Structure formats: C-alpha cells, structure tokens
Amino acid sequence: MDFANYFPIYKNLTSEEQALLTKNARLHTFEKDTLLHNGSNDCLGLVLIKSGQLRVFITSEEGREITIYRLFDRDMCLFSASCMMNSIQFDISVMPETDTEAWIIPADLYKKMMEQSVALANYTNQLMATKFTDVMWLIEQVLWKSMDSRLAAFLIEESNLAGSLILHITHDKIANHMGTAREVITRLLKYLQSEGIVSLSRGTIEIIDFEKLANT
C-alpha cells in the first residue's frame, strides 16, 4: 500500500500498529480552494499528503487571514485533528492550494495509538514542536520585518514553488497570506514595478530583477 511509503515512521511501528493505520486511513481527493478544516469545532482527522499542497492559516475577528505555514507531499497536518489536542486555544483553518490527494487518519484512533506507542508519541511531539517553531518564525517576521521585505520574501518563495518567474496570483491572495489589506499589497507591488523589479498585469506578477528583489 502507498500509505506505508508516505507515513514517515511507518517502519518504526509494530506490525499491529501498521495494520491499524493502513486499515483505517482513507485516501481522498480535495479540490483546490476547498476548505478542509475550519476551527476547533471541526475535527476532520489527521491529514497525510500524498500529493499536493495545503495552506494552514488563522483568521482574525475582522476576517483578515494570515498563513502560518504550508504543507507538501509526505507532510502531515495535526491541527486538522484539533479535537485531539485540548490545549489548542485558537482556531486554525486548512485549505488546499492545489488539487490534493491525502489520507485522512481518524483522530480517535491516532490518539489511542499515540498513548500506547512511544515511537508514534515521539514523532507527534517532534512534529508539533516543528510547527510551533514555524509559528514563532512567523511572529518574528511580523514583528521585526518591514512589509516590503516580507512581500519580497513571499514572492521569492512563490517563485521557487512555481519554478517560474511568472506568478499567477492576485493581490487579494497575497494579502491573505501575509495578514494585511489588499491595498497595502497593491501599493507595494506598484513601488516594486516602478523600480523595475516586477511587472504587473491582471492576476499575474512577473519578477524582472530577482537579485534586486532578494535584496529588498
């Protein structure tokens, strides 16, 4: 089964634990921009990505979003099983950025297995620590980096993910990723265009001077 090749510590589990996971994990296909998980009252289960890309984000009371981190092939999303973690006091949403294939592991099964398996508990704790490190990195960026530097870093990341200097993304989506208003992003992009760093057209941003963008 493909699941064995995608679950990071599958070989470290007992044969009984392996059988339980492979029997109960269900492979699903999720369309781009379909909300998979929305807040602490929603318990989808743990999501193990076979192929695709997920965005994990939070939303303010005013409706403004900010991306916490992204997940890719072979990554697992713990926060989609928020009912398993009573200590989480904030609502997290999960949405595919591309069409995504992923296994859903039932939260109650995983929690029970984690209580009995040292290997699974250690892996889960390490994964949780890694994601909170990502959150702390984001907080540092918001607190100490200027918005133009954050935008430049975001465009570079998008370019690396797309493997292209031409990005098909709207100002609204960038604003949602960065936790700011569309007008702020539009103003900064127009400045970058005036400096010859990017070229703007409807729904598209082309990076003209990658080196100068990296030094912004």
The pLDDT value recorded for residue 132 is 87
Helix (H, G, I), strand (E, B) or coil at 77: strand
What is the rounded (10 degree) CA torsion for 58, 103, 112, 115? -70
Residue 105 has pLDDT above 70, yes or no: yes
**At 69, is the pLDDT very low, low, confident or very high (cuts 50, 70, 90)?**
very high
Residue 71 has pLDDT above 80, yes or no: yes
Pair 179, 142: CB distance under 8 Å? yes
Residue 85 has pLDDT above 70, yes or no: no
**At 92, is the pLDDT very low, low, confident or very high (cuts 50, 70, 90)?**
confident
Average pLDDT over residues 197-215: 95
Average pLDDT over residues 154-172: 96
The domains of the chain, with CATH numbers, are 2-142 (2.60.120.10), 145-214 (1.10.10.10)
**At 40, is the pLDDT very low, low, confident or very high (cuts 50, 70, 90)?**
low
Query: What tens digit of pLDDT does each residue of 117-151 get?
Result: 999 999 999 998 998 899 899 999 999 999 999 99
H helical segments located in the chain: 2-6, 15-24, 107-116, 118-144, 147-162, 171-178, 182-194, 210-214
Tell me what percent of the residues of the chain surpass a pLDDT of 90: 80
Rounded Cα distance, 161 and 34, in Å: 20
Rounded Cα distance, 106 and 26, in Å: 9
The pLDDT value recorded for residue 62 is 86
The neighbouring-strand residues paired with 66 are 58
Residue 80 has pLDDT above 70, yes or no: yes
The pLDDT value recorded for residue 1 is 59
| Per-chain mean pLDDT for the chain | 92
Q: Name residue 120's amino acid.
A: L
The model's pTM is: 0.85
Residue 104 has pLDDT above 90, yes or no: yes
- Out of 78-87, 120-129, 152-161, 207-216, which region has the weakest mean confidence (pLDDT)? 78-87
